Amino acid sequence: MRKTVTQHISNPEKFKQQLLNWSQQFDEVVWLDSNHYDDKFASFDAVLAVEAFTVFQTDYYNAFLQLKEYQSTTNDWIFGYLSYDLKNDVEALYSENFDGLNFPDIFFFQPKKLFFLKGHVLETQYLNFVSDTLEDDLKSITLNTASDLVGELQSKDATEDSKIRIKLRTHKDDYFKKVNDMLAHIHRGDIYEANFCQEFYAENTTINPLETYKQLNAISKPPFATFLRVYDKYLLSASPERYIKKEGQKITSQPIKGTAKRSLNVEEDERLKQELSEDIKERSENVMIVDLVRNDLSKTATKGSVKVEELCKVYTFNQVHQMISTVTSQVAKDTHPVDIIKTTFPMGSMTGAPKISAMQIIETLEDAKRGLYSGAVGYFSPDNDFDFNVVIRSILYNATNTYVSYSVGGAITAKSEPLKEYEECLIKAKAMREVLEN
């Protein structure tokens, strides 16, 4: 079905840039880059999937059942995304908030051309009927003149606005009021925790998606960076979070809850990291979501196989320190991969606990439809493995609507103080704002 070629790459970093530049000629693109982050669960350093042979996209209604059919019948690599609003397929929920982006609720495609980079080894997989272009494509990717020409063309398509004017969908006073409303729900016992998000946006704005992604990635260097293009819609993501991975019969989920800023002063930076590690509020947020993830994984796990491998471990990224836990389980061989996704979606770190009540309250208090934000991007492999990130720290762009958006959120618990929550949102938004206002 696919022709596979393996070769040595002398300069992987340079090749990654050439490969990403070359990909811009296609309408369907998924680029996943670990930025050499020390991730013991990673299968590849970088992956590129381009040019759809088959496509699956729909709204949320019966989406998981249709995805199951598409994944089973295709029996090949498929790449794409799950939007947050697929919650409406899993539970009796709805999404009626403002949507300036208009992404489909779910989109997957079977790529004609695939590139897997691990260390200095590149594995290229082309569907047989396009394999005659493989050698020519590899030459054009590595020719500097080709990548320079692409870069030159893109520079002419750069931002036309001299200054991007970012607006707040939820103004500061409204944010405080809404957090207090959320706290009232918590004190009443409706929920223990909820992830409350707000949108920042710019209208009538044209950006260069590739250059914007490159700048965002350079600032953050996250382990789950993504450049996604679906026709006129783009995701430029600097995500630090894995949603869920399946390798063989092992399932791994790594929720993030707990954020602290970085400092250029080494001693202060170490103190901030230590303070996050010992922060009772942040730890309790993380533990609540770990309990939720354990419960979600248990729905498909073999008996007694759900384990917490790491609890509240602090990891350091370019922009922030993050508290991450790792929860694993085992599934039976005949468990369908889409059922594992459906029973854990949306990820607990972006909802709250109890999950359904939290999602209901979120919908009434937030001012924008989340769409792809707090959804997931990733792939299914032909042998039923998968790996998906969490779409956070991301810029979303609809080129036709000339609408740019990024959202940030935080976990609200009984110990939350509205001002501190607002300040944490601004820390998370810093990289996106810097890139867009540059």
Nearest Cα neighbor of 18 from 184, 137, 125 is 137
> Quick one: tokens of 373?
């934000």
73: Cβ contacts below 8 Å, ≥ 6 apart: none
- Sign of the four-CA dihedral 211, 169, 57, 242: positive
Question: CB under 8 Å to 245, separation ≥6 — which residues?
Answer: 41, 251, 252, 253, 385, 386, 387, 388
Yes or no: say if 88 and 69 are a contact pair by the CB < 8 Å rule.
no
Token output for 42: 């990673």
The tokens of 61 are what?
């209604």
Residues facing 58 on adjacent strands: 106
Find the angle CA(60)-CA(93)-CA(99) to the nearest 5 degrees: 60
Q: What residues are labeled active site? A: 241, 257
Cα separation, 85 vs 190, whole angstroms:
22
Give the model confidence (pLDDT) of 385-416 as tens digits: 999 999 999 999 999 999 999 999 999 999 99
Cα–Cα distance, 137 to 375 (Å, whole number): 32
pLDDT for 162:
60
pLDDT band at 155 (very low <50, low <70, confident <90, very high): very low
Q: Quickly list H helices, 48-190.
A: 63-74, 87-90, 134-142, 144-155, 172-188
Alpha-carbon gap, residue 70 to 110, rounded angstroms: 10
pLDDT digits (tens, 9 = 90+) for 112-140: 999 999 999 999 999 999 999 999 999 99
CATH superfamily name and code, 2-437: Anthranilate synthase (3.60.120.10)
Cα gap 245→390, rounded to integer Å: 11
Contacts for 89 with CB less than 8 Å, ≥ 6 apart: 60, 61, 62, 63, 64
pLDDT tens digits along 283-315: 999 999 999 999 999 999 999 999 999 999 999
pLDDT at 158 exceeding the cut of 70: no
Distance CA 436, CA 212 (A): 7
The pTM of this model reads: 0.94
The position carrying tokens 């509020």 is 281
**Residue 292: left (phi > 0), alpha (psi -120 to 50), or beta?**
alpha
At 264, the pLDDT band (50, 70, 90 cuts) reads: very high
Phi first, then psi, for residue 303 (nearest 5°) are -55, 130
Query: Of the candidates 318, 392, 395, which has an alpha carbon nearest to the alpha carbon of residue 164?
Result: 395
What's the pLDDT at 143?
79
